């Protein structure tokens, strides 16, 4: 029976067409083609060193794999057939070109250890690319913080006006989140940087292949310690999906703010035309579609992480075909994170602040009320009492339709005798911000220190 499968000798009937549609994965795992060629080359070298291939055989297989790499780069469509997966495809092509020698290539190797090695290589490269986009984003945010370093911006809790902060401080808060994303991706990279090749289907192999040498030739830092774990482990994918899920959450939170702040009803900032769209009906609209799409794709990435965990939770050792789904989740997550990060850092670089609207917004919600209470504390009033007095001051301001600094000193003195004219120096927005000079606070001096520390953490520009 002629087949493009890597199995079939003990079967009397071919796979049903519906089962083929369910189980064949070539369309999905085509992106592993160059990794699979490299893994085959590393395996062929190990077979040669273990004396299962002659020098001429090894040379012929290597030359064939190298030629296939060129052809897959230049004219891939002519090479793919009705193969079960990318591994089957490459083995078919090698056998077609090298005859019986091609059939030796799979000696001591299973698709189980082959696919996970391919996937680990793909994951490492993908994380490297994602990290580069995150680094660009951090650079953009730091530059944005510097551009608007002294702009005072409304800070929120419960999305209610809370206390004034520097806009730069707001941007640097996200810088910290994205630095933690880098840490998570670094951990996922370390988890992926372990070579499973040589583990066979689950028990290892009988050919004494040099696993350390195979790992070194493929750029891995270590080899797996247990062959059953090697072919069943998908923790590194879960780690990558988790890192991606948290990163997308950070992007989504930021996008939510952009969507709200850019609405004409709020108008604190504007997103560039190149990252907004219009309406097919309403000619006046400028919609923050890119921010909305990133927010929307976050749920998709979250779903992949949960889906993989759900798949893994019911699997006995070692390999199970359920694991074929892992790459669907991984590939789609990588694609979405990559495009979202690229769009996001380009969009952020082009935003502009509406400082008039920001100044008007600061006057809403009595953001300096806490500083009024702090003033009383400095005068010796217990904070809880100061809190109550300030609440009464705010109530008067609401009833009179005034800001706190617009109230008369005489009226303020009726609330507490220690209130004096110097209170008005404490309840300006500039004073409120400058008072938060504690490390990590929003005072200009503290923000400058934050930027200085962040610049020391930005090591990628030094290479």
Long-range CB contacts (within 8 A, 24+) of 204-213: 205/108, 205/109, 206/108, 207/47, 207/50, 207/52, 207/107, 207/108, 208/50, 209/43, 209/46, 209/47, 209/50, 209/108, 210/46, 210/49, 210/50, 211/46, 213/45, 213/46, 213/49
Beta bridge partners of 6: none
Is residue 232 classed exposed, middle or buried when 0-12, 13-18 and 19+ CB atoms within 10 A define those classes? buried
- The residues annotated as belonging to the active site are 158, 279
Q: Which of 415, 410, 419 is nearest to 391 (CA)?
A: 415
Of 163, 225, 200, which is closest to residue 433 (Cα–Cα)?
163
Pairing, β 222-223 against β 194-195 = parallel
């Amino acid at each position: 029976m002629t087949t493009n499968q890597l199995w079939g000798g003990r079967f009397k009937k071919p796979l049903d067409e519906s089962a083929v549609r369910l189980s064949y994965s070539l369309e999905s795992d085509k992106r592993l083609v160059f990794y699979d060629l490299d893994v085959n080359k590393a395996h062929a070298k190990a077979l040669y060193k273990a004396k299962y291939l002659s020098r001429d055989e090894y040379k012929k297989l290597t030359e064939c794999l190298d030629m296939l790499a060129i052809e897959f780069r230049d004219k891939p469509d002519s090479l793919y057939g009705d193969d079960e997966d990318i591994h089957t495809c490459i083995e078919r092509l090698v056998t077609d070109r090298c005859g019986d020698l091609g059939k030796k290539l799979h000696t001591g190797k299973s698709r189980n250890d082959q696919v996970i090695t391919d996937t680990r290589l793909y994951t490492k490269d993908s994380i490297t690319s994602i990290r580069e986009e995150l680094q660009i984003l951090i650079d953009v945010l730091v530059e944005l913080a510097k551009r608007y370093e002294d702009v005072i911006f409304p800070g929120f809790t419960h999305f209610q006006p809370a206390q004034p902060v520097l806009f730069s401080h707001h941007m640097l808060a996200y810088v910290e989140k994205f630095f933690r994303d880098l840490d998570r991706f670094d951990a996922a990279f370390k988890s992926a940087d372990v070579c499973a090749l040589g583990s066979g289907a689950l028990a290892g192999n009988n050919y004494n292949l040099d696993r350390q040498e195979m790992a070194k030739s493929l750029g891995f830092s270590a080899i797996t310690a247990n062959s059953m774990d090697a072919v069943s482990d998908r923790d590194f994918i879960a780690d990558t999906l988790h890192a991606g899920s948290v990163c997308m959450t950070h992007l989504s939170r930021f996008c939510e703010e952009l969507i709200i702040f850019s609405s004409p009803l709020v108008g604190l900032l504007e997103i560039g035309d190149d990252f907004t769209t219009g309406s097919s009906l309403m000619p006046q609209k400028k919609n923050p579609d890119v921010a909305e799409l990133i927010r929307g794709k976050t749920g998709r990435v979250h779903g992949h992480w949960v889906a993989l965990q759900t798949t893994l939770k019911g699997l006995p050792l070692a390999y199970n075909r359920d694991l074929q789904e892992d790459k669907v989740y991984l590939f789609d997550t990588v694609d979405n994170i990559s495009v979202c990060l690229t769009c996001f850092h380009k969009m952020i670089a082009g935003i502009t602040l509406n400082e008039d609207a920001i100044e008007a917004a600061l006057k809403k919600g009595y953001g300096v009320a806490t500083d009024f209470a702090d003033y009383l504390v400095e005068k010796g009033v217990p904070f809880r009492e100061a809190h109550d007095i300030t609440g009464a001051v705010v109530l008067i301001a609401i009833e009179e339709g005034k800001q706190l600094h617009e109230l008369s000193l005489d009226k303020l003195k009726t609330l507490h005798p220690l209130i004096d004219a110097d209170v008005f120096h404490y309840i300006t927005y500039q004073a409120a911000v400058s008072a938060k000079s504690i490390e990590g606070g929003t005072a200009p001096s503290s923000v400058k220190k934050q930027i200085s520390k962040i610049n020391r953490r930005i090591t990628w520009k030094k290479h």
